[in-house]
């Protein structure tokens, strides 16, 4: 069978070349899209009580475990368990001695909330002092009635201060990694400056490095 010049020209026509070029451009575009930046575009609610070890950083699960155990230990101590009236407590700072950026205020907020359950402890709010002082000034400016205004000298002093420290140790060997956390809390008598209760909670998590594909 012989191919004529005309049939060769038809098979290699500009239309056919354009079709092949268009297909190639399409494949390149699809590849570019599939390899481009990705975003989380759909979510759903999850149970906050479920363990979260999505990565090797401090998580809400760590906070929940630590706070639950330490608060139970504190409430069970005789300084609180045998008190004739609910002790007045001031929750202050948790020092972050880890290499991570951790919201320690959130941890201490959870400590205060869990301690308040059941009415075994009452609190004074250190964070609100500036607002309270400003309100005293306003109420004594003549805008409030004498029967309802509050003034200096009526606040109740705290009996105890709760503070603490968060430490961590990170170890890596080959593809294995462990992350260790220790949270220590102290209950200090304000009158004597004696630590009447202290306890710690330890957490260690294990991870293994693996390749992550596109």
For residue range 75-121, what is the model confidence (pLDDT) as tens digits? 999 999 999 999 999 999 999 999 999 999 999 999 999 999 989 99
pLDDT at 147 over 70: yes
**Neighbouring C-beta atoms of residue 213, cutoff 10 Å:** 3
pLDDT at 15: 54
pLDDT at 45 over 90: no
Give the model's confidence band at 24: pLDDT under 50 very low, under 70 low, under 90 confident, else very high.
low
Q: What is the mean pLDDT of residues 51-55?
A: 78
Query: Chain-wide mean pLDDT for the chain?
Result: 86
Q: Helices 104-116 and 60-76, interaxial angle, to 10°?
A: 40
To the nearest whole percent, how much of the chain has pLDDT over 70?
Answer: 82
pLDDT at 170: 95
Domain boundaries, the chain: 5-33, 60-127+155-208
What does pTM read for this prediction?
Answer: 0.75
Can you name the residues that pair with 205 across neighbouring β-strands?
Answer: 179
Q: What is the mean pLDDT of residues 42-59?
A: 81
Query: What is the SS3 assignment for 165?
Result: strand
Q: What is the mean pLDDT of residues 46-57?
A: 79
pLDDT at 8: 45
Q: Is 60-127+155-208 a CATH 2.60.40.420 domain?
A: no
Position with higher pLDDT, 56 vs 8: 56
Closest C-alpha to 197, from 207, 208, 186, 206: 186
């Amino acid at each position: 069978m012989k191919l004529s010049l005309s049939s060769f020209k038809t098979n290699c026509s500009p239309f056919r070349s354009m079709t092949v070029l268009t297909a190639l451009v399409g494949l390149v575009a699809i590849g570019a899209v599939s390899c481009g930046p990705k975003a989380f575009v759909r979510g759903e609610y999850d149970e906050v009580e479920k363990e979260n070890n999505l990565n090797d950083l401090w998580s809400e699960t760590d906070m929940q475990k630590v706070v639950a155990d330490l608060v139970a230990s504190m409430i069970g101590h005789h300084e609180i368990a045998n008190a004739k009236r609910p002790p007045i407590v001031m929750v202050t700072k948790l020092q972050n001695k880890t290499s991570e950026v951790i919201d320690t205020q959130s941890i201490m907020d959870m400590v205060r909330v869990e301690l308040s359950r059941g009415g075994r402890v009452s609190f004074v709010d250190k964070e609100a002092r500036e607002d309270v002082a400003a309100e005293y000034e306003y109420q004594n400016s003549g805008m409030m009635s004498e029967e309802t205004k509050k003034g200096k000298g009526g606040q109740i002093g705290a009996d105890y201060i709760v503070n603490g420290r968060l430490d961590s140790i990170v170890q890596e060997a080959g593809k294995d990694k462990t992350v260790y956390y220790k949270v220590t809390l102290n209950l200090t008598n304000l009158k004597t400056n004696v630590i009447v209760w202290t306890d710690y909670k330890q957490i260690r998590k294990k991870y293994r490095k693996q390749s992550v594909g596109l």
